[in-house]
Structure 1
Amino acid sequence: MIWNTSRINAEKVNIELWGYNETGEAYSANWEAEWKYLYTVGRDVPNSGVFSFTPQIAQKQYSLWDLGSMRVSPSSKQDGAKDVNALWSGAHAVAWHLEEAFRKDSAGWALEKCINWDKEEKAMPNFLMEITDCPCTLAQARADTGRFHTDYGCDIEAGSICTYHPGSVHCVRAIQGSPAYGAGQQCCYDSTGAQMLTGDSIGGSTPDRGHDWGVPPYKKPPRVPAYSHWKYDVISFYYCCLWSDNCEYYFTHRPSSDCRTYRPPRAAAVLGDPHFMTFDGVTFTFNGKGEYNLVHSSVHELSVQGRTEPMKSENGSVVKATRLCSVAMREKDSDVIEVRLGEKKDELQVLMNQQVLSFSEQIWIDLKGVFVFSPKPTNVTVMFPSGTGVEFRASEGVMTLTVLLPHDLHNHTRGLLGTMNDDPEDEFTSSNGLIIPSNSSAQDIFSYCAGWAITNETSLFTYDSTHLLNEYYYAPKHDPSFIPNFSMTEDLEDPLLEPTLNLCAGEGASFCKYDALSMRSLQQGNATLLSYRSHTSTKKALEPVQSCGWLSPPNNGQKEGTLYLERATVTFSCNNGYRLYGSQERTCQGDGVWSGQDTHCVADNTLAIVLGSVGAVLAVVVMVIAIVVYTKKQKKEAMKLQGDRVNYQQHASHL
């Protein structure tokens, strides 16, 4: 064991083992989380930051504790004392302290544990029907940041060390727990970007009864962060898969969810000076100064507001262009989150309900109705329960905003980022319902955008300085005195023109040129171009993909191919001694249905047996028919003979 000695204010420490368990009837009022001191491994140990020990066979009662944590605390405190300055390890399996049975036959011991877990799972409610489906591709999974977040146990950015999902290069977890049971979803992908399924590999995606990050109320099972997940989803994987070869038990209760019902979010962006890219793909520039509605939706009561301010050139002079400098947002009764440019260049500041948040100790903060993730000062992602994601990136003194909206907000959005309904012709719909053409002049678009200014009564912003009070709170929410340059003249005598034209080529060139020439900065133009390309890459990654769902190999046969998306082909073959019936090859079609027929492998001697059986049946049928015919013939002859006798008797009586 190693630890940071500066965190413990003591010369000597005790090393303790604590156990975690959940008791009572599952999902009932008496279901409780139990956190208990078990015993001390080392006492009066020098606080050197290093300790090692050889596990001893503990008393039998400790075998009931499958998982727990180690605690390092000052020796001056009693064993198991609570509310003391201490360091804790993460949750882990504590099989090393268990009974002799584990040491003599670990696989047999693990199988017994696996079977007991299987019985417990069968008695619990099925949570699989309420969890969200996985994204179809790795690209979708990494781009859908409003609903999914990197699983730190399998992160492609950290080298893809995927202990529990061999063969995967990256996994993500659903950010929100499921509605009723607080369950989690995990989705894993291979090096080709395809989703891995447990039907094909032990490294496949697996859902979780206990969400790894917990679900409010966090003290109630199975919603306890980390520990509930370990109890129901991790330690059981040890028992069934890692410590014994019985994964079929585990995957019966934790099968992969495929992506047949997954619907990717839609993305819109604000970047540069600032330029807008709406949900339906319309692009325009709006250099107004003020505070505006970017996205508003009555569904989920979502509001995202943006503040813009005039730009300054490198020499400090004011430029006739603006930048997005702050964004405030809320969903239903969540905490209000505001992200704004900080005092240092390319640094973002995050406020919760007008108070600054610090990310010096952690990069992930779970608040009321919202998650905030900030891995570094230039990057912030805000996630709401609806699946809405709001991303911020700072570069060259400018904030880039990306908003990701779930499909259920389709046709339910208003604001500068447009109406998300696949119709670019109504993207410029004003707050009073009037529509201007998408090919309107820059001046007309400017006037339209000014109409989306917020009011003090609806504002979510923080006015914590004299400057903000004077410039935004006591001033018009859209400053009519600030008139920007609606276009940039390309002066052939301008020494910056040629390098700008060389830099700004292809898609996004007009935005790049505007920013480079207005700001007199190639760096500014390049930052805008990179942001534009990043957004187009995100939109491409989030394009819908058709899935036909998992195909199983036939009994007594194999399949080749584990990709189940449109145009993917799966090929089947049979073991020796078996013959293939149905389709040898099936292709995923655009309607989500596999081509061909179900595939079966039939033993070579089955046909002979069947034919022999048919022959026997036919022989019996022929025999029965012969007997019936013979019987009818005999009966007919008997009746004829009886008739002859009657006629003879009648004839004799007349004589």
Structure 2
Amino acid sequence: MMTADKMWGGNPHRAHNLGKTPFDEANKVPSLSHWYHDVIPFYTCCKWQGEQSPGCVTYRFERRASQDCVGYQPPTAATVFGDPHIYTFDDFPYTFNGKGEFVLARVDSVRHKLDVQGRFEQISPNYLHEAKGSMLTAVAARDNISSVVEVRQRPIDAIWRYHLDVIVDGQRVYFDRYSQKIQQFRECVVYTPSNVLNQSHVIIMFASGAGVEVMENRGFLGTRIYLPLSFANITRGLFGNWTFDQTDDFTLPDGTAGPTSEAADMKAVHSYGMQCEY
């Protein structure tokens, strides 16, 4: 049963309560657009008339009919975590211990221009010996003409309050208060879950539908990138070429064929990863 079958069920809104930049166009004014296009029609058509009134029936089944999600296409995801372990968009796992700044995912097409970069640094020495692995310490992302959003891991001695630094267009932003949990910038939204108080979990959503999620836990940074179907067959970088086929995940940044994932050994994987260096 669809939620709009009842008056108190959900229904699609035409304007977001927080508005949308540049905030001075139709349907984009914070609060006012939502009140005018969504709240007032519900009161006049349904709440003040009755659930089975002609106005409410028209509102629920014709003007604001809900969707049953039959045509929903879930996004694909790629992730990097640990020292570092990588799962590509086609779900191929491998380990890459490069040190420096690398392209996690890059798209350069007529429709989309996405760039997500990661910084990998050597793991701090432990009480036994020097650690030879590397770890993710910072992520920067930009989509089309959006703001540049950078998320950095704070030093271990500086995480008593904030675990991550969030920098948007060169300015640090914070999510301490409830009113700051969701912040809008040029063509993107940056927010933290309401139950996270130490700024250890940051989510970036772009206007194109791409999303970047950054999490810190016990000194290690993990990142996921979510892409809608329109990004298929055009991705490059450490997260691979998203074609629903693992064998061509290691396509080189210039589009030429790299080592096949089936035959790739550690040396071939490292060679491929170094070609994704920014």
TM-score normalised by structure 1 residue count: 0.38
State the match for 2:69 in structure 1. Answer: 259
Between the aligned partners of 2:272 and 2:224, the Cα distance in structure 1 is 22
217-226 or 286-295, which deviates more: 217-226
CA contact (8 A) 1:268 1:403 kept: yes
CA contact (8 A) 2:200 2:217 kept: yes
- Residue 417 of structure 1 pairs with residue 235 of structure 2: no
DSSP-derived class of the 2:183 partner = strand
CA shift at 1:223, angstroms?
1.7
CA shift at 1:249, angstroms?
3.7
Between the aligned partners of 2:8 and 2:76, the Cα distance in structure 1 is 30
State the match for 2:227 in structure 1. Answer: 405
1:533-573 C-alpha deviation (Å, 9 max, x unpaired): xxxxxxxxxxxxxxxxxxxxxxxxxxxxxxxxxxxxxxxxx
CA contact (8 A) 1:204 1:256 kept: no
Between the aligned partners of 1:355 and 1:283, the Cα distance in structure 2 is 35
CA contact (8 A) 1:310 1:318 kept: no
Between the aligned partners of 1:217 and 1:407, the Cα distance in structure 2 is 27
Q: RMSD of aligned C-alpha atoms? A: 1.9
- Out of 33, 36, 60, which is 1:231 matched to? 36
DSSP-derived class of the 1:418 partner = coil
1:437-469 C-alpha deviation (Å, 9 max, x unpaired): 213211221111111101xxxxxxxxxxxxxxx
- Out of 167, 176, 180, which is 1:360 matched to? 176
State the match for 2:14 in structure 1. Answer: 209
State the match for 1:275 in structure 2. Answer: 85
Between the aligned partners of 2:29 and 2:15, the Cα distance in structure 1 is 8
CA shift at 1:316, angstroms?
8.9
Change (3 A) 1:217 1:353: closer
Between the aligned partners of 2:272 and 2:22, the Cα distance in structure 1 is 45
Q: What letter is aligned with 1:250?
A: Y
- Out of 424, 433, 444, which is 2:268 matched to? 444
Structure 2 unaligned regions, length at least 5 = none
Residue identity over aligned pairs, in percent, reads: 37
TM-score normalised by structure 2 residue count: 0.87
Q: How many residues align?
A: 259
Change (3 A) 1:272 1:261: same
CA contact (8 A) 2:258 2:272 kept: no
CA contact (8 A) 2:2 2:67 kept: no
Between the aligned partners of 1:355 and 1:228, the Cα distance in structure 2 is 29
Change (3 A) 1:310 1:223: same
CA shift at 1:239, angstroms?
2.8
Q: What letter is aligned with 2:80?
A: V
Structure 1 unaligned regions, length at least 5 = 1-194, 455-655
Please identify which structure carries the higher helix content: 1
Between the aligned partners of 1:196 and 1:381, the Cα distance in structure 2 is 29
Please identify which structure carries the higher strand content: 2
CA shift at 1:340, angstroms?
1.0
- Out of 197, 218, 229, which is 2:3 matched to? 197
DSSP-derived class of the 1:267 partner = strand
User: What does 1:2-21 align with in structure 2 at a 5 Å threshold?
Assistant: none
Between the aligned partners of 1:417 and 1:222, the Cα distance in structure 2 is 37
User: What does 1:175-194 align with in structure 2 at a 5 Å threshold?
Assistant: none
- Out of 193, 205, 209, which is 1:383 matched to? 205
DSSP-derived class of the 2:118 partner = strand
- Out of 105, 108, 114, which is 1:295 matched to? 105
Between the aligned partners of 2:184 and 2:129, the Cα distance in structure 1 is 41
Between the aligned partners of 1:316 and 1:325, the Cα distance in structure 2 is 22
